[in-house]
Chains A and B, each alone.
Chain A
């Protein structure tokens, strides 16, 4: 029997959890949790069921919150989550990844920390901040944030991270040394002749294809890309999309050729749904072609955006697809994106959406 699906939602004012019926048609909302701190990323360790929420509070600084009981009770810690004296202090946690007993946290200003004790304490992996390109990293609109962490499913030492706007970096020694992996991704806002640099691109999200760790998809500020060699080379797959601009990307849980995107109208004309008409875009052929999925989504006056970590898929068949909007709505599809229904309309700004199945 299929387990229960829970939607973990990070918002500008706390974490929320939706408990779903087995059919994924009825949803009950709980929250807000984490004392209504801004929660940039709420995730679950799929093997232990522990929920982690990373964020930062204007008064009290950064912390990772933890719940061992599906959100009923929470603790928090930032022990070790700090840079050496004299450096700019950490403002917030932006991304989390729990896998194989290692919990990683990406922070602002960009850096990566690891916890080996389920978030009780943290160790800085300083190889990234010692990278020779570090002095030239530029902050994006949300700051100099490490917002994407992708882990190799079988090798804990191999990690891809995304920093706005330093680009994608890769390690295969657990974070001691890093190499940029941005070849083929464009930087439209650089002078002509300098638009394919080694680093500095504005990655918005990275997602790994099911069962194929060498295949990565990337939504960038400037285009949509696929890599079939672990990020060494990226190929544009934006033909057929309504714009080159968007934030999240979500891979199908079983089919490496299927991917979901939420293109916005562009980076300088509002960053909302093209023509005010909402659509999720799906490819079933690894980006060669795209189809707009609109059934159940608002088709007029939809002036919302969807942020970089605010779309996810579950592991069921047919796959569920979920996204939350900047205007506080949460949409769910239980049929691979063919149809959608709203399960909430008045949440705070949604910053992240993740799924846990219990």
Chain B
């Protein structure tokens, strides 16, 4: 399902955890990142600015977070339009999938 994109909020500094299978796809990336963003969509944009192509690995053209990717903000499952507050912990995980 397409997820709305929040605009015009102030970026805040958050900490992001990336899953190991994603880090392996992008040489130079790491499992813990600090960055500034106002929502999950802009967070993915900031990841993509640092490691081009990373946003496409985590979101699709619906636009939405990919079906088998989970992004949690302070322990709650998020969408692209989920807003961020200062010092929040954002955890990106690969979901149970495959065979």
Residues of A within 8 A of B (CB): 35, 58-61, 63, 76-79, 81-87, 89-90
Q: How far is the CA of A82 from the CA of B59 in the complex (A)?
A: 11
Please determine whether B53 and A83 come into contact, CB atoms closer than 8 angstroms.
Answer: no
CB distance from B69 to the nearest CB of A (A): 6
Please determine whether A76 and B60 come into contact, CB atoms closer than 8 angstroms.
Answer: no
Please determine whether B66 and A59 come into contact, CB atoms closer than 8 angstroms.
Answer: yes
B residues 1-57 near A (Cβ < 8 Å) are: 2, 21-22, 24-25, 52-53, 56-57
Classify the interface of chain A: helix, strand, loop or mixed.
Answer: loop
CB distance from A107 to the nearest CB of B (A): 12
CB distance from A316 to the nearest CB of B (A): 36
- Which residue of A77, A79, A85 contacts B62 across the interface (Cβ within 8 Å)? A85
CB distance from A269 to the nearest CB of B (A): 25
Q: How far is the CA of A83 from the CA of B60 in the complex (A)?
A: 10
Check A59/B94 contact, CB under 8 A, given A35-B24, A76-B53, A78-B53: yes
CB distance from B14 to the nearest CB of A (A): 22
Q: Which residues of A contact B66 (CB under 8 A)?
A: 59-61
CB distance from A317 to the nearest CB of B (A): 41
Q: How far is the CA of A85 from the CA of B21 in the complex (A)?
A: 27
Q: How far is the CA of A191 from the CA of B56 in the complex (A)?
A: 43
Given contacts A59-B66, A61-B66, 16 further A-B contacts (CB under 8 A): A58-B68, A58-B97, A59-B21, A59-B57, A59-B68, A59-B69, A60-B21, A60-B66, A76-B53, A79-B52, A81-B56, A84-B61, A85-B61, A85-B63, A86-B2, A87-B61
Q: Which residues of A contact B68 (CB under 8 A)?
A: 58-59
Q: Which residues of B contact A35 (CB under 8 A)?
A: 21, 24-25
The count of residues in chain B whose C-beta lies closer than 8 Å to any C-beta of chain A is: 21
Residues of B within 8 A of A (CB): 2, 21-22, 24-25, 52-53, 56-58, 60-63, 66, 68-69, 94-95, 97-98
Please determine whether A78 and B62 come into contact, CB atoms closer than 8 angstroms.
Answer: no
- Which residue of B53, B61, B63, B98 contacts A79 across the interface (Cβ within 8 Å)? B53
Q: How far is the CA of A90 from the CA of B94 in the complex (A)?
A: 19
Q: Which residues of A contact B58 (CB under 8 A)?
A: 60
CB distance from B67 to the nearest CB of A (A): 8
Please determine whether A60 and B62 come into contact, CB atoms closer than 8 angstroms.
Answer: no
Q: Which residues of B contact A89 (CB under 8 A)?
A: 60-62
Q: Which residues of A contact B52 (CB under 8 A)?
A: 79
Q: How far is the CA of A57 from the CA of B63 in the complex (A)?
A: 18
Please determine whether A60 and B25 come into contact, CB atoms closer than 8 angstroms.
Answer: yes
Return 17 A-B CB contacts under 8 Å, by A number.
A58-B68, A59-B21, A59-B66, A59-B69, A59-B94, A59-B97, A60-B22, A60-B69, A61-B60, A63-B57, A82-B56, A82-B60, A83-B61, A84-B61, A86-B2, A89-B60, A90-B61
CB distance from B6 to the nearest CB of A (A): 16
Q: Which residues of B contact A76 (CB under 8 A)?
A: 25, 53
